[in-house]
Amino acid sequence: MTEALQSIPTSNSGASERPVLNSHHEQKMSENSRWGLNSLLYTMGVGSLAVVAIVIGVKMVQEWRDRQQEIQAFEQLQALAAQPDPEACVQAAQQIDQTSRFYAEAQAIQEQCNFLWGKRLAQGGDLRSALSLLLTIPDSAQSYQDAQALVERLSAQVIEEAQAQVVDGKLDEAIVTLAKIPSTAPASATAENLRESWRKEWEQNEKTIAEAQKALDDGQWSAAKEILGTVSSAPYWQSQIQPLRKKADEGIEQVILYEQQQRKQQQTEAQAPQPTFNDRLQSLYDTYVKEGMNELDAWNLACETIGGTIEDVGPETVCKP
């Protein structure tokens, strides 16, 4: 009984000590927890690696697809460059991104296609677009020298066309034609000088014609013709002043004819025999008698009129000069 009681722990000692069985169980649980945690961590690590692998794989696939698209785009560009359609070639080259490994080669192809496109536009008569396109070709391009030569030739063609329009009196059309030459073209300065020169010439000719018209209105035929002589010799302006010149010439001819008639009349009068003193005296005497004067008064008045002097000579009077 006493031994039995001694084997049973008291209530005080049982509160401070754990049974051996409970401590072992607790250790076992701790080991299980660590194993579970390690297993979880391992699982998470493997999962993360799998996710990373998937992401890398997707990225590699996307990069492969991008490379294939770049290759296809460049191959398409090369194919278009060999076709007689430079515009399509240029548009295809513009689709090659700057990040592409084919970008530099694509730019070289585009520059060549720009040159061919510019030639085609020029052949179609669109000189402004052709010049604008050709001027975009950089000096590093293989076609640069050819492009510059074509720009010079097309610019000369534009200037020649504009000059022909000015000769025909189409100033506004000529100025529009010169506008086909871009400001970046070497010939732009020449085009600008021509525009200013033509405008000044036009204004001066109009002013001169107005002065000539006023001289004609005032009957100053010779002055009008002299003024008209300063008008531009271009066919258009000569055709404009032709009616005025004709009027001036007619006026001058009338003046010349009048002067000739006057000289002829003076010559005729100078060549005609002059009446004698007695003829004049007799003519006046007859006139006065016809007007009703008596013979003596008519005689005396006629003598005084012609500046004569009456003298008594015997039974008659005589009128002496």
Residue 134 covered by a domain: no
Residue 287 covered by a domain: yes
Q: Identify any residues that bridge with 316 across adjacent strands, giving them in sequence order.
A: 313
Query: What SS3 class is residue 309?
Result: strand
Q: Which residue has the higher pLDDT, 89 or 20?
A: 89
Q: How far is CA 92 from the centre of its chain?
A: 31
Domain that holds residue 300: 277-320
- Overall average pLDDT of the 43-71 stretch: 62
Phi, psi (5° rounding) for residue 181? Answer: -85, 115
Q: What is the pLDDT of residue 23?
A: 53
Q: What is the pLDDT of residue 3?
A: 37
Query: What SS3 class is residue 312?
Result: strand
Q: Do residues 261 and 248 make contact, with C-beta atoms less than 8 angstroms apart?
A: no
**Model confidence over 210-265: pLDDT tens digits?**
999 999 999 999 999 999 999 999 899 999 999 999 999 999 999 999 888 888 88
Q: Do residues 93 and 106 make contact, with C-beta atoms less than 8 angstroms apart?
A: yes
**Model confidence over 25-34: pLDDT tens digits?**
555 556 656 6
Q: Do residues 298 and 289 make contact, with C-beta atoms less than 8 angstroms apart?
A: yes
Note the pTM of the prediction, 2 decimals: 0.57
**Model confidence over 94-142: pLDDT tens digits?**
777 777 767 777 777 778 888 888 888 999 999 999 999 999 999 988 8
Q: Do residues 224 and 216 make contact, with C-beta atoms less than 8 angstroms apart?
A: yes
Residue 190 has pLDDT above 70, yes or no: yes
**Model confidence over 129-170: pLDDT tens digits?**
999 999 999 998 888 999 999 999 999 999 999 999 999 999
Residue 315 covered by a domain: yes
Residue 302 CA to residue 287 CA, distance in Å, equals 9
Mean pLDDT of the chain: 79
Query: What SS3 class is residue 173?
Result: helix
Q: What is the pLDDT of residue 115?
A: 87
Phi, psi (5° rounding) for residue 138? Answer: -70, 160
Residue 216 CA to residue 210 CA, distance in Å, equals 10
Residue 237 covered by a domain: no
Residue 306 covered by a domain: yes
- Overall average pLDDT of the 178-182 stretch: 96
Distances (CA, A) of 131 to 29, 69, 110, 136: 89, 34, 16, 9
Q: Which residue has the higher pLDDT, 83 or 259?
A: 259
User: Does the CA dihedral 93-95-98-101 come out positive or negative?
Assistant: negative
What band does 59 get if pLDDT is binned at 50, 70 and 90? low
Q: What is the pLDDT of residue 27?
A: 58
The contacts found for 99-103 with CB under 8 angstroms, 24 or more apart, are: 100/70, 100/73, 100/74, 101/70, 102/70, 102/71, 102/73, 102/74, 102/77
Q: What is the pLDDT of residue 77?
A: 57
Helices (H), 185-234: 188-217, 221-228
User: Angle at which helices 20-81 and 103-123 pack, to 10 degrees?
Assistant: 30
Residue 312 covered by a domain: yes
Q: Do residues 202 and 134 make contact, with C-beta atoms less than 8 angstroms apart?
A: no
User: Does the CA dihedral 154-159-160-164 come out positive or negative?
Assistant: positive
Residue 152 covered by a domain: no
Residue 20 has pLDDT above 50, yes or no: no
Residue 35 covered by a domain: no
Residue 204 CA to residue 78 CA, distance in Å, equals 58
Indicate the number of domains in the chain.
1
